[in-house]
Amino acid sequence: MAADSMEIDDALYSRQRYVLGDTAMQKMAQSHVFLSGIGGLGVEIAKNIILAGVKALTVHDTKQCTKWDLGINFFIHEDDITSQRNRAEATLHHIAELNPYVHVAASTVPLDETTDLSFLKQYQCVILTEVSLLLQKKINDFCHAQQPPIKFISADVYGICSRLFCDFGDEFEVLDTTGEEPKEIFISNITQSNPGIVTCLENHPHRLETGQFLTFREVNGMSCLNGSTHQITVVSPYSFSIGDTSDMEPYLHGGIAVQVKTPKMFYFERLEKQITNPLYLVADFSKPEAPLQIHVAMLALNHFQENFGRGPNIGCLQDAEEMLKIAVSLSETLENKPQVNGDVVKWLSRTAQGFLAPLAAAVGGVASQEVLKAVTGKFSPLQQWLYLDMLDIVTPLEKMGSEEFLPRGDRYDALRACIGDSLCQKLHDLNVFLVGCGAIGCEMLKNFALLGVGTGQDKGLVTITDPDLIEKSNLNRQFLFRPHHIQKPKSYTAAEATLNINPYLKIDSYINKVCPATENTYSDEFYTKQDVIVTALDNVEARRYIDSRCVANLRPLVDSGTMGTKGHTEVIVPHLTESYNSHRDPPEEEIPFCTLKSFPAAIEHTIQWARDKFESSFSHKPSLFNKFWQTYPSAEEVLQRIKSGESLEGCFHVIKTLSRRPRSWTQCVELARVKFEKYFSHKALQLLHSFPLDTRLKDGSLFWQSPKRPPFPMKFEFNDPLHYGFIVSAAKLFATVYCVPFTEKDLSEETILKIISAVKVPEFRPSNKVVQTDETARKPDHIPVSSEDERTAIFQLEKSILSNEALENDLQMKPISFEKDDDSNGHIDFITAASNLRAKMYNIEPADRFKTKRIAGKIIPAIATATAAVSGLVALELIKVVGGYSADAYKNCFLNLAIPIMVFTDTAEVRRTEIRNGISFTIWDRWTIYGKEDFTLLDFINAVREKYGIEPTMVVQGVKMLYVPVMPGHIKRLKLTMQKLVKPSADKKYVDLTVSFAPETDGEEDLPGPPVRYYFVQEDN
């Protein structure tokens, strides 16, 4: 089957399509992959690449399931151990049901130094886990020698260290190294010089890099640039040079430069050569020496295994010493002869038998993305090693005896070997609140289950909440859900699936949103019972709110998020770090109102315009219509009231809608045809009437120049699919909101042509309306209604009543809620047609339905690989939080698996605010004052002064000002009791107040203070 003719199941893959694009998706759907070793790391990789949608995966394993596997492989269960099943066979069914489009097979034949490797020729990519280094080299040599090379990936997790290696052959071509949309730059000037300097429109930095290629279009004057491609050199954030322009015509105005994606070649060396001189990614720039140190330590471990036929024993100092000797002699054989770090070797030796499941999730996410790169040629591959470790946790473990790490014969032995039994117990006794059960939420629950979070006999509970139901598009990343779960609540379903991984987990699931409205459920008391909060959210507003609740209740928070191949993690610890709200991203740029209404310059503008039209015509107006007639139940009553001079809000628009209400399918089609004329012809004619093409501004420059594009009226053509598509989709939506039935016959071309041919389209009459050109102007809230409009309304309503067209059924409409993922509802069809018609009217490159859906639906691109990596990193930080580690152990991370980069940074230390006289506070400080029944505001102010040495000059409760001395009447409030001022509900024991203090010198702003929690009565200690 030709790659470009394959159908992609958009309902399943839509979020991932926005990450990879269709070409890569189709290449992937033709690829065969071989994976050896289905332990904790292998099952992670298998899960991610099956969700992504390769054509076929063979999972190979020769080991039997053991108790140990229960803590590392989330698809192995107790009955697999009792029936002594092979690991590949035990997991086969579970991984296969993740994606019906992927053919999954199991292989249990031995793979060793004597195996004939020719069977690997059927695969495009081979992944090895839990394979000896000698065999890795042999298989790598075989793969590298093939034509074309078989892409080779090996990955290992030993205790608290992991490594990943890639070799995609001598040469590997990548068509798109980043996956980012090509940049479009509006031009304000091009010099006639050598080199020619191109300047962007003001306040719009180009964000290009030297060496990139651009092509030009719509340049006026220097028109020979149009269609040509040039390599650029960056001059400043707003300008770049393009070579000699001195012989070209002078630049006049306009022009757009568009980035051209160029293929890039990557070069790889075999494993044998890379071992002696590794090329690696540095993830933590505070420890640039770490990758080489782990490289040597892991090679020493491999040699130890070869020499002794076993791994070093858990916690055994003798084995650690032996491994250190091997490491020292090995380092001499490497090209850079790196310094051996004895601590790294010792801790790798002590924990190598163990397995840290979250570390496997992190490295497994990265490895899976490399598999997808290998089979698609999309994104930049890893060159060639990545090392991730958990060495930050070892300092307190030093003090523990070796018996802490020894196996106890349960499912947590692999974890215990890494972090000790005491820390395991703390995880079991943990109360954790997970907000969100989407992609990251599902991955987090899997990590909790493997770590035994919330499984303690007397303590420990996992509380989860998510208000959403499962959609088909979720199944591509939210791996706890299956097709038969669609339309069931995410939280209940996720809880049930998590108990399949670890039946000893205690889990409470809710379906509420966490927001101010649910503070009765998620009260201060609820937060105080939690040991840590984990957020798995998709919006900033919810994160900010939960962060504020964590700060108020002194709870640690671990946050994360992804967008396509990018991801972040942030750990927030009381008294040690800043909070999420301590930093703010710049707000998203809004499209100016005048740009949307009259002067679009990019497809995003026309899509937003079409989305607004959908909202206004099919949701907002019908809702207002219904609300009006619920307030005024009869048309006759409304007529009497407006005749008697009463002004009823919104009545003019409601009566206009009622009088024009279509009552048949024919009238719905006619209305759609009239709207076509209004939107795509009359609008253009009106703009050109207001601003003819030769209009000039006061400075003599043309009005219609970049980024303003003159519109050209569209002439309706029935045979143009875009025109016809608009009529059909608009008519169907009008029929839905006006409750007009229609049949398949009504939708036939013949019927629609017949109706359209008879439509009398109103002629264009220019108006003297002022067109808004100020980019800072906002959309007006209310358009005033003239007295003539009111007279028209009375006449229209009388006419409707006389014609019996204002009866109860006529006073109802059916508002439509925009739903992007239901292709049968016609919402995206309407927005695509309307947007592309407007784009053509303004000579803007149109967008296909797929791109329109992403922009109109504000869809966040998503892929399982990034989600798995991010949630693994979160779970690693969670272990540190539970262990009560010091500030220097915590790491925040930013990653982009496409490039690939992974950057770990220290958390931001909490900032201390000085008030004065040595009195200071941080965001985590809270002062407390205990009052009694007759405690007055003055008593409160005196109590703060006596306890904390500084007198408040202002007291505020939320947005309510309790005491601001300069406000009239506030001085009198000093005598009022706190009960009377605050008016607490009966069950409220305290109130949180904000206080501030007089500045040291007059004229300066008041000094802020920490929140003060005022208890209405003394608490019993």
Catalytic residues: 594
Q: What are the residues facing 510 on neighbouring strands? A: 465
Q: Which of 828, 803, 764 is nearest to 661 (CA)?
A: 803
How far apart are alpha carbons 4 and 13 in whole angstroms? 16
How far apart are alpha carbons 318 and 276 in whole angstroms? 27
Helix (H, G, I), strand (E, B) or coil at 31: coil
Q: Report how far residue 666's alpha carbon sits from residue 536's, in angstroms, rounded to the nearest whole number.
A: 49
E strand or H helix at 161:
strand 161-167
CB-based contacts of 856, cutoff 8 Å, min separation 6: 607, 608, 610, 611, 820, 828, 831, 835
* Coil, strand or helix at 706: coil
| Distance, CA of 136 to CA of 153 (rounded, Å) | 9
214, 260 in Cβ contact below 8 A? Answer: yes
> Helix or strand or coil: residue 95?
helix
HSE (side-chain half, CA atoms, 13 Å) at 845? 6
Decide if 34 contacts 58 (C-beta within 8 A).
yes
For 765-918, list the strands marked E by DSSP: 891-896, 901-906, 913-916
Residue type present at position 364? G
User: Tokens 């293929």 sit at which residue?
Assistant: 263
Residue whose tokens read 């019993």: 1020
Q: Which amino acid is at 952?
A: P
DSSP 577: B
Q: Distances from the Cα of 290 to the Cαs of 204, 212, 279, in angstroms?
A: 40, 33, 13
How far is Cα of residue 637 from the mean position of the Cα atoms in its chain?
51
- 275 vs 270: CA distance, rounded Å: 9
CA distances from 598 to 508, 601, 690, 727, 773 (A): 52, 10, 11, 22, 8
Tell me whether the omega of the peptide bond preceding residue 762 falls within 30 degrees of 0, making it cis. no
Q: How far apart are CA 302 and CA 310, in angstroms?
A: 10
* Apex 332 CA angle, 331 and 336, nearest 5: 75
The token pair at 536 is: 């798995």
Rounded Cα distance between 45 and 51, Å, is: 10
Amino acid letter, residue 409: G
Residue pair 205/589 in contact (Cβ under 8 Å)? The answer is: no
Q: Are 962 and 955 in contact (CB under 8 A)?
A: yes
- SS (HEC) of 424-459: HHHHHCCEEEEECCCHHHHHHHHHHHHHCCCCCCCC
